[in-house]
Amino acid sequence: MKPIQVGLLGIGTVGGGVFTVLERNQDEIQRRAGRGIRIHTVADLNVERAKELVKGRSEVVSDARAVIKDPEIDIVIELIGGYGIAKDLVLEAIAAGKHVVTANKALIAVHGNEIFKAAHDKGVMVAFEAAVAGGIPIIKALREGLTANRIQWIAGIINGTTNFILSEMRDKGLDFATVLKEAQRLGYAEADPTFDIEGIDAAHKVTIMSAIAFGIPMQFEKAHVEGITKLDAIDIRYAEQLGYRIKLLGITKKTPSGVELRVHPTLIPTKRLIANVEGAMNAVQVFGDAVGTTLYYGKGAGSEPTASAVIADLVDVTRLLTSDPENRVPHLAFQPDAVHNTPILPIGEITTSYYLRLRVDDQAGVLADITKILASHGVSIDALLQKEADEGESQTDLIMLTHETKEKNMLAAIAEIQDLSTVAGEAVKIRLENLS
């Protein structure tokens, strides 16, 4: 049988990995797919570099649109990235009747609704396993493996850069700026790390998982996003003393009033497996009503781990090429007419527990004043850590863990507490999830 002909748009780090792994494991992949899969043409602006990589085994061009127009091409792999030209090329490939495989989480999270509609109308597939958590097959797990479940929540460490930084801050007691420079030196962080450290990359990924888990449209613009740039090493140490680790989590939950969709630093009990995911590794925890808790762990980025997911999508598309479009797994797991526009809850309406650090005068009555204010807003204390003031100091740190409460209640209490003359500076608030 004639091999499937693939057009590869972009042969950078991931594209090079796709080419290498596909060549190296061609026999094994063909045994699984039922026919060969061959990269017919590579499109890259750096033609000379691309030619060095493919060594004459594929045609190389500079014009991506020439690949899309080529009638020989069955599947287009988009590895350019970003929202701009990548979106145009994906839509043009769909219009040309080509199936698409992409690792572009930003594109899917922001423009997925438009792209999936176009693909559905044209009867072609858009596969995007590599868009979330690199080599971890979390999209397939959510779309297929857990299809019998009502998924209740997902919590994921889905950005390796921030997890590396937080691990180093905890292990070495260093501040954020120092560790970021080290992460850049080692290649874990980009020269411009904004998407990673501000939580945007993680928000793209949790948006995609939320849509698949709950059968809702992509709603990235409604996600609450906080990064790790304001996180202080002292809070990491206090969290450890209380039996918790701080991780940047992407969280989505289905509640009776709507869907929570948020990214922020989070305290997790140290005894949870996900709290012990260190370095640049990723992990996603999913809770379904039938299966309970499942955990997916592995490399979330890198040339060959991401290539593994891209090629898995190529195999899936190859297997389904001759199937009736109506009988394929829907892009968002639910049939298009069964996708519900469930509201995304504003952050003030979410319910969780909190870590609170206050700088207070070291004198009698301060704790009573603070607990009275918290109680008046329906916030109860679960644990308390009060540090002795250093010699010669008149102020000390007061650390509290609360029981679950609505965020708006917590914010109102903090505003009132900060008006006390015995409280100095800004309160530090970090959300806490037990993930049980």
Location of structure tokens 């999209």: 139
State the CB neighbour count (10 A cutoff) for residue 368: 9
Bridge-based pairing state of the strands 258-269 and 244-255: antiparallel
Residue 222: name the closest of 266, 249, 259, 247 by CA.
259
Distances (CA, A) of 122 to 99, 115, 317: 10, 11, 15
Active site residues: 205
- β strands within 270-350, DSSP E: 281-288, 292-299
What type of residue sits at position 174?
L
406, two tokens: 């609505």
Closest CA to 64 of 74, 51, 77: 77
